[in-house]
Structure 1
Amino acid sequence: MKNKKLVNTRSTAIYTRLSRDDGAEGESNSIANQKTLLTKYANNNELENIVYYTDDGYSGTNFNRPDFKRMVADIELGLIGTVLVKDMSRLGREYLQVGYYTETFFPNHDIRFIAVNDGVDSAEGEDDMAPFRNVINELYAKDISKKIKSSHRVRGMAGVPLSQPPYGYMKSPESYKKWIIDPEAAEIVRRIYKMALEGKGNETIARILQEDGILTPMSYWRKKGLKRAGKDTQVNPCKWEKNTIKTILANQEYVGDVINFKTYSKSFKNKRRIKTDPEHWKIFKDVHEPIIERDKWELVQETINKGKRRPSNKGYEESSLFSNLLFCADCGSKMWFNVNHPNDKIAFYMCSNYSKRRGTCEGTHYIRADSLKRVVKNELRQLGSYFINEPEIFAEIIQQKFSQNNQSKKKNLEIELNKLSKRYDQLILLFEKIYEDNLSGKIDDDWFKVMSKKYSDEKSEIITASTKIKSEITKIDEQLSNKDQFIGAVRQFLKFDDVTPDILKTLIEKIEVYHAEGSGKCRTQRIIIHYRFIGVLDIPREFHNDNIVMEPRAGVRIEYIPTKEKSA
């Protein structure tokens, strides 16, 4: 038995949770009633230093709850000694996850766990009925999910909007089934369409709205106190993204239509929404008051489709050559490919987060595409020279780099595999126990079938996960083949003395570009190449070529300096 006084020196966490799915269980499950019950229990049992954690509106199958995560973090910091819940279902309704916390996480952190109405107190020893309660709670969640899905299907086929109203609309206070116009936001939507019809692009529209101090949809909803899915990661609440403009301009619901079944989820345990093919959408026309006239909306769609057909980067090899390889060395953002419109023979890259284009990065990190190609080609020639002149040393260094980078990854995989193995052994013991309990009459045949199926399903999941991890470990152990593939790509480059997308993607993980330094006619620009599997490679000086020097514009010389590591 645990020392109750020991855990009482730390705080007592009272955790309460309520979701929409709990509505049928009445007032007894309200947050206020949960807190009253648990506070009274804590006071009567000398559990001191109470800290409250509350998740209101979160499903029991979702363990990514804000206050639950905060409580877990406090437990890991050693601040909590006791966790108090009304019943097991308040902790969660997914029996594997609940089992992990009650059987592994809490004991490992010396947590006394109490579920008042279920009579569970870890200080009194193991509760044989806990696994059954967890299964019942999960079956309840599954049943609720089926009923909700069926209800949604019926409402969706009847033309009732299933999604949240888009920016510009709000739910009618008289009926959640109806959308009405939100005058303030609708005016911004009309303005966006007006600018689009005037020929302004998404980036331009976004910049104008930002300059005028217009709150983004997410910031607007937050200001209104409305909960919406998604994270508001922008520091500037008025920083509009061009993709937000794109979404608004493509949304057919602004003409008064309701579009249902645009997304779906595969399982009640997996909340990730998957996009449905448009052919499976259900569209109901003229259901609510339009913000945009239908003919104007269709005209905007024609403009958008014309833009899609414009091959802006066609004919520029560099746009695909360095695709997904270039990053800003200062802020880590991707580098965007651009074409100089006055002189379309000049292609270049710049930081996608540049401040003067409404980002936060101070420098453009501008680099000409032809200059970059020459610099990378020069670096690969040095790499090839090293390989030709010192093949054994080169191969040994590559192997060492492979081993260093994969050692940590392999260790983490082995730890995870060990956890799965222990859980598998636990399941064997649990199955033996319910088998014996069934024989002795402690549990009936129906419950034995339910439990044995659950354990069997989890064993299958563990076998699948273990097989995947073992495969990844095997791949790491076979890094020699990757080393040979890397050396093969070096040979391929030496054979043709040219860079291709295949060669670059085999050899290079990423290229970091710094902003050019200096002023006047002579400047320098640093570049770091990170090779795949091995990171930054320090090539001996005797194999170095002269740095590439180019004149990107008249009167300006830039020396490109491949750097081995970032300066402090």
Structure 2
Amino acid sequence: MAGSLYESGFYDSIDFQSQERQVIEIGMKTQVASTTSNIKEEPKRLRVCAYCRVSTEEEMQMNSLENQTIHYTNYIRNNADWMFVGIYSDRGKSGTKRAHRAGFNKMMRHALEGNIDLILCKSISRFARNVMDTLEAIRVLKENGIRVIFEKESVDTGSMESEFILTMLSVVAQEESRMISENLSWAHTKRFSSGKPLFTRILGYKKVNGVPWTIDLEEAKIVRETYDLYLAGYSLVDIARKFISKGYKKPNGRIDWKDSNIKSILSNERYVGDALCQKTYTKDYLTHETKVNNGERPQYYISNHHEPIVDRKVYDRVQRILEKKSVPYSRSSKNINEFTSRIKCGCCGKNYHRYVGRKRVLWRCSSRLKSKLLCEMEAIDEQDIVRTLKREFTKKYLDDGASANKKLVINLIKELKNIELNRESEQSWLRLSLEKALVDENRAIMELRDESTFKEQRIQVEKQLESKKHLWEFIDKDAEYREGAIKSLEKIKDTTRLVQGMNDLSEDISFLRAWFIRMTYTEKGTLLLYWANGDMEEVKIEKGED
């Protein structure tokens, strides 16, 4: 497929060195009335995209998402009656839960906006394993004149007879998902009832040469020290900070200990050689919601299963103390706002978290909260962030408010609409570059020539794709902020209070978030701003009065 494009001179017509990209807005063709009845109107080309999904890391290794992307890109472009409008994909996502599939939801949004005529998908199970989601999506698309073709099942939703087949195949896909879940649950239950717990890597125990529950002597010392310190009167937080200062590593190789890590060690029966199986269970195979097992499922306690690290008398003493100090636990709602997961620490790379005080709202580095030894970055006042974003937005787009007029508002609306188009253009460009690099590399190998130069080009493009991936995901997730900002701008566009209207909007955090996708608080005390249009700049934080 790729070879035919190469031989046809397709790549020769593209200047891959050029940094300027042409953004084509889809679905905005102007209809020109024919003045001569003898002139035949050219048939309309279908706007075609593809949807790809891989649900596990193992599957990604066997059949990479990039290979699927290249296949469908070539397949669509090689059809003269089709116009390629993009590839939508979800990586490492289950098909039974649509809510978290950003690529799928983005494709549906674009389709209903009138930018897609036909969707290609490898199979129904790749589209969704949930019958209701599948049928609802298909019927909504069909009502809007959009077809879906499933290659494996040879189903085209454009034909009436396909609806019954589609329903049956969707039921089969969902039933397959249910059976897999039930089979796994049954297999685990049989295993537990026969006295064979599942091995999970925890501090002190490793799997060595295929043998689980092998004691790691160095890690076992840390486990015993945890119990000794707790019995000596140290608090969970004190122990965590002590381990950080000593540089003790957790099983994941990090040293960012916290109180919950310490409590997990102190309350884990596996350190005395026992194993309590089925502490949690999956409530629903469609949502994959995991619940703590409080008697809803049978539990299996296996005594003296493996070699202990902690003496049983020591363990029992610790459990009695933990029980006396325990308080009823209730899961509080997450403190989520517009900046959640979007402020990064320039020192340790962790996210900043929001803390509401009596007088101020502060954002603090998650590592710094655990210990100054992990990170020394200071907190940022939320109002300082808002003031800084407002200043930079005004400087970039409003010229201090002096030129606020209808034309400016229209340009702002266009800017917001172009953000997604520019992101898709950049992604398509890099994927096309990767495709060319792969073709050049493979051709050199086939012709017994040195392929090292082409291999290096391919690696560089792959690195660019990987570095952009998270920023692209942020842009996709921020669609609701851009849509809200567009609606707000439309409301003030034809009013006589444009200047005041723009000033009010620039005070709104949700409006400002439409223009920024991420920021990094640097060690110099500045903010590195990542604009949604692709620009990046380092700015001083505008601090208010204390």
Please tell me the TM-score bracket, short chain as reference. 0.3 to 0.5
Larger helix percent: 1
TM-score by length of 1: 0.44
Bigger Rg, structure 1 or 2: 1
Q: Whose RCO is larger (CA < 8 A, sep 6+)?
A: 2
TM-score by length of 2: 0.45
